[in-house]
Chains A and B, each alone.
Chain A
Amino acid sequence: MPKLIIDDIEVEVPAGTSVLEAARSVGITIPHFCYHPALAIAAACRLCAVKMLDGPVKGIQMSCALPAQDGMVVSTTDPDALKMRKLVIEWLMINHPHDCPVCDEGGECLLQDFTIAGGHGIRRYQGKKRTHVNQYLGEGIYHEMNRCIQCYRCVRFYQEYAGGTDFGVTGCAGRVYFGRFDDGPLESPFSGNLVDICPTGVFTDKTGRFRARYWDYQYAPSICPHCSAGCNLSPQAYHREVIKIVARRNDEVNGWFICDRARFDKSDLNDPLRPRQALVDGSPVEWEAALNALATRLREFVQSHGADSLALVGSTRLSLEAGILLAELAARYKGVRLCYFIDPAEAQLSLSKVEWVPAGMAASQAELREADFIAILPCDLMEESPMIALAIRQAFVKGAKVYLVAPHLTALNLERLPFQVQVVPELADVPLGEAKRGIVVAGAGFADLKGLEAVPTGVKFVLLQPGPNSFGAALLAREYRAVPLREAIASGKVKGILALETDLPEELRQGLTFFAAADWRNNGAAEPASVFLPTSAWAETGGTWINYEGRAQRYRQAYKTGLPLRGLPARYYGSQEAEPPAHPPRVHRAVAPGGDTRSAWMLVAELIFKLTGEPAAEPYAGKWAPLKHIDPEGPGMRLPAELLAG
């Protein structure tokens, strides 16, 4: 481990660490543009200059490209280094437009930060600026090439990291241009990361451009709800509307990136038709009144039909906390049906996957990136979990052998995979015995667990699940002896359902005498429900989801639920005029319009209190106690063996 001195601080770092990272490890940020920890070194921008005072190399050096070595004495504040950085900034700013106020990157721009940090303030250059023509890059990303400082981050990400071929760098010298061959949507399903990775405003998120500045946003560490990979992200909300979603670093999981579905698909959260009003028999009422009605009706229903006619239904997108409390509610009514899954096959499969993988043998995305042999069982990864495919690409680039087991190739879309595979008819044809870090990857639909028995020991598994918390739901179902809803209904007894954040197929509501629902999603449950309670969406509340590998991850509330200020209906302005004015309502109220919701777990806790007169128990108790202190900004927590064991 090389030892060196940076600005009089002694630093010891693992071999191969750059001087820039070594400095960062003791809290010194050396300005940099082209350097990015996830990408290959380019040393293109020349900004990260430091002065080497003593040791194996001397003089001004680029700290991003210089591995730390024993005996180095580094100064980041030497006048020569400062001058170099100042001149580099001035040079990079020569062609840059001086119009941050009309740039959507302003406020979260590395170029702004380091221009200020570098001390460049007065423009000396009098010549004409280089200008470019922008391209249409699709509905996700807006292109503004004049802001480019030629750091090559975008192309290194797009082609090298993500395997895209339709975006790159053309021209040379003063003409370099980052774009496509011609106008058209970017093809890579990871293209949105250009927004995060470009240190300036060349690529901005078209779906949220010019809506708010960085400092306007409310945001919090959160988890992607779209699949079971559990990628870390952060929703950025302004006036109760999610404007942008950005990737959040978690080296164990998604690294620095997210897929485009995670970034651009905010439609559920921002849906103007989201149910936000508590309803009893279809009429709007206060939250409290609806909860009272729910308690009364539940009580009456159980009295007249018996507890075993009632099903309490959670889902694979419900937070673990709400799931635990739902079980507590169920425990108060002997015989009640507790369900976390609708479909028996799905319930069975989720649990068998949880139990099938031996403790410690589930592979994280980080492990996938380092694997040397990967066998993919038939599935459309790019559809199901694009980030898993991106992780496999990193292994592939480092030389891993990737096999696709495909008895019938026809159904699979090989073209879209960002790596090359060798197609084999059966898993037995993959020489996993040769693997040092072998991993078998299977999609959520994969059911032939028996077929995995021949896999040599030491090989790890990525067994994807259908929902963001399918793993958690399977654990809950096992722990509390839940039954899948269809099975409960098939018994012929179920006459009443309380559905908690569950997408219930319509036919399952047929023939019920009582149906109540609580949800934030516009999934048609509010109308038929005799009592409906709106809940807060994942981004609007805290909770825990467990991803496919059994990693519990906590998400935090990013903003308070409510109707987005933009497009707020006229009735909230105290008038029924058709056109609401362009300013916030001046009617005083305690909660934001449409904001009278609760987290699902809170709803269940309140319900328990209403029904029993006793407060609900703390969810992180007993078996779940280890999950109490998960740091939302940490790597999450791999479930301990005692939680996994049946």
Chain B
Amino acid sequence: MISEQLKKSLQQRVETAITPREAAVDVMKELQRHYGWLTDEAVGEAGELLGLSPLQVEELATFYEKIYRRPVTGKLIQVCDSISCWSGCCDGIIEHLKKRLDVELGGSSADGKFTLVPCCCLGRCGDAPVMVIGETFYGNLTPEKVDQILEKER
């Protein structure tokens, strides 16, 4: 359940959009901030706000990789595996992250501090390989640098 206040502000957001779909990402992001991830309940609520069916919200939610339809534990690490980072050897970085956190891609570390997922190009190809933890960006990664960052973020 969302608060009346949040509901009101989201309704306002939808009203100012030219088409409701245009406001969908904002609505989903706010609901995600509220619940921690976009729960089934949140999908239904987004649908009501936007005048879409749950399926139509799901279509959008599952298209955008920064909308999470599954619970996210701790901080989210998104590591780019698109073409520039791939040529910058992101494979090694991903392997290193997996080893350090002892998780597979999509999994959460045992201490509940991190969840590791791959992502598409973050638009910072010049700094390849790159990752984002929470909202903080890190580029020109090396295994050593990754270790330091994890230490800091933990």
By a CB distance below 8 angstroms, the chain B residues around A511 are: none
Per the 8 Å Cβ criterion, residues 55-102 of B in contact with A are 55-56, 58-59, 61-63, 65
Q: Which residues of A contact B58 (CB under 8 A)?
A: 168, 170, 181
Chain B nearest CB, measured from A168 CB (Å): 5
Which residue of the partner chain A has the closest CB to B43?
A181
Q: How many residues of A contact B (CB 8 A)?
A: 12
Q: Are A181 and B62 in contact (CB under 8 A)?
A: no
The interface bits of chain B over 30-72 (1 if a CB of A lies within 8 angstroms of the residue's CB, else 0) are 0000000000000100000000111110110111010000000
CA distance A175 to B58 in the complex (A): 13
**Interface SS, A side:** loop
Across the interface, name the chain A residue whose C-beta is closest to B65: A172
A169 interface residue per 8 A CB criterion: yes
A149-167 Cβ-contact flags toward B at 8 Å (1 or 0): 0000000000000000111
Residues from chain B with a CB closer than 8 A to the CB of A171 are 62-63
A182 smallest CB distance to B (angstroms): 8
Give min CB distance, B76 to chain A, whole Å.
18
Closest Cβ neighbor of A170 among chain B residues: B62
Whether A168 and B59, one on each chain, are in contact in the complex, defined by CB atoms closer than 8 angstroms, is yes
Complex Cα distance A241/B91, Å? 58
Q: Is A180 an interface residue (CB 8 A)?
A: yes
Chain A hits for B61, CB < 8 A = 170
Chain A residues contacting B54 (CB-CB under 8 Å) are 181
Q: Which residue of B lies closest to A179 (CB)?
A: B55
Output the least CB separation between A183 and chain B (Å). Answer: 12
CB-CB under 8 A from A170, the residues of chain B are 55, 58-59, 61-63
What is the chain A residue whose CB lies nearest that of B55?
A: A181
> Shortest CB–CB separation between residue B28 and chain A, in angstroms?
14
User: Contact at B55–A168, with CB atoms within 8 Å?
Assistant: yes
The reply to whether A168 and B63 contact each other, CB–CB distance below 8 Å, is no
B interface, size bucket: 10 to 19
> Which B residues are CB-close (under 8 A) to A166?
53, 55
A-B interface contact total, Cβ < 8 Å: 31
- The smallest beta-carbon distance between A141 and chain B, in angstroms, is 16
Q: Choose from B43, B55, B63 the contact partner of A172 (Cβ within 8 Å).
A: B63
Measured between beta carbons, the chain B residues less than 8 angstroms from A165 are 52-53, 55-56
**B56 / chain A contacts, CB cutoff of 8 Å:** 165, 168
* Inter-chain contacts of B59 with A (CB < 8 A): 168-170
User: Given the complex of chains A and B, what is the CA–CA distance between A171 and B67 in angstroms?
Assistant: 11
Residues of B within 8 A of A180 (CB): 55
Q: How far is the CA of A167 from the CA of B59 in the complex (A)?
A: 10
List, in ascending order, chain B residues with CB within 8 A of A177's CB: 62
Residue of B with least CB distance to A165: B53
Contacts of B95-123 to chain A: CB distance below 8 A: none
Closest to A171 in B: B62
A175 to chain B: closest residue by CB: B62
Closest to A177 in B: B62
B52 in contact with A172 (CB, 8 Å): no
CA distance A305 to B54 in the complex (A): 69
Which of chain A's residues 170-206 have a Cβ closer than 8 Å to chain B? 170-172, 175, 177, 180-181
Docked Cα-Cα span, A180 to B65, in Å, equals 20
Contacts of A167 in B (CB 8 A): 55
Q: How far is the CA of A177 from the CA of B69 in the complex (A)?
A: 15
Find the residue from B43, B52, B62 having the highest chain A CB count within 10 A.
B62
Q: Which residues of A have CB within 8 Å of B52? A: 165
A172 to chain B, nearest CB (A): 5
Closest to B54 in A: A181
In the bound complex, how far is the Cα of B65 from the Cα of A171, in angstroms? 9
Once bound together, how far apart are the Cα atoms of A177 and B43, in whole Å? 17
Instruction: Name, among B55, B56, B63, the residue most crowded by chain A CB atoms within 10 Å (CB to CB).
Output: B55
Cβ-closest chain B residue relative to A173: B120
Give Cα A166–Cα B65 distance, bound, in whole angstroms. 22
| Min CB gap A128→B, angstroms | 15
Distance from A417 Cβ to chain B, minimum over Cβ atoms (Å): 16
Q: Which of A167, A169, A170, A171 has the most B CB atoms < 10 Å from its CB?
A: A170
Chain A stretch 116-165: residues in CB contact (< 8 A) with chain B: 165
A123, chain B: closest CB distance, angstroms: 26
- In the complex, A165→B50 CA distance in Å? 13
Complex-state Cα separation, A169 to B58, whole angstroms: 9
**Which residues of chain A are within 8 angstroms of B53 by Cβ–Cβ distance?**
165-166, 181
Complex Cα gap A169–B63 (Å): 9
B139 CB → nearest A CB, Å: 24
Nearest CB of chain A from residue B53's CB, rounded to whole Å: 4
State A75–B55 Cα separation when bound (angstroms). 42
Kindly provide the distance from the CB of A144 to the nearest chain B CB, expressed in whole angstroms: 19
CA distance A165 to B21 in the complex (A): 14
Shortest CB-to-CB span from B92 to chain A, Å, is 21
Which residues of the other chain, A, contact B63 by a CB distance below 8 angstroms?
170-172
Measured in the bound complex, the distance between the Cα atoms of B56 and A169 in whole Å is 8
Contacts of B55 in A (CB 8 A): 165-168, 170, 180-181
Question: In chain A, what residue has the closest Cβ to B61?
Answer: A170
Q: Distance (Å) between the CB of A306 and the closest chain B CB?
A: 66
Complex CA distance for A2 and B80, rounded to whole angstroms:
48
CA distance A615 to B59 in the complex (A): 66
Measured CB to CB, the nearest residue on chain B to A180 is B55
Which of A166, A175, A180, A181 gathers most chain B CB within 10 Å? Answer: A181
In the bound assembly, the distance between CA atoms of A167 and B54 in angstroms comes to 10
Q: Which residues of A contact B65 (CB under 8 A)?
A: 172
Using a CB-CB cutoff of 8 Å, which residues 6-42 of chain B contact chain A? Answer: none
Complex alpha-carbon distance, A170 and B61, angstroms: 8
Alpha-carbon distance between A3 and B59 when the two chains are bound, in angstroms: 42
Residues of B within 8 A of A168 (CB): 55-56, 58-59
Considering the chains assembled together, what is the distance between the CA atoms of A170 and B38 in angstroms?
A: 15
Chain A residue at minimum C-beta to C-beta distance from B64: A172
Return chain A residues, CB-CB under 8 Å to B62.
170-172, 175, 177
Complex CA distance for A180 and B54, rounded to whole angstroms = 9
Q: Bound complex: CA of A171 vs CA of B64, how far in Å? A: 8
- Top 8 closest A-B pairs, CB basis? A165-B53, A181-B55, A170-B62, A181-B54, A171-B62, A172-B63, A168-B59, A168-B55
- The chain B residues found within 8 Å of chain A, CB to CB, are 43, 52-56, 58-59, 61-63, 65
A168-B58, A168-B59, A170-B61 given; 16 more Cβ-contact pairs under 8 Å: A165-B52, A165-B53, A166-B53, A167-B55, A168-B55, A170-B55, A170-B58, A170-B62, A171-B62, A172-B63, A172-B65, A175-B62, A177-B62, A180-B55, A181-B53, A181-B58
Q: List 25 A-B contacts (CB under 8 A).
A: A165-B52, A165-B53, A165-B55, A165-B56, A166-B53, A166-B55, A167-B55, A168-B55, A168-B58, A168-B59, A169-B59, A170-B58, A170-B59, A170-B61, A170-B62, A170-B63, A171-B62, A171-B63, A172-B62, A172-B63, A172-B65, A180-B55, A181-B53, A181-B55, A181-B58
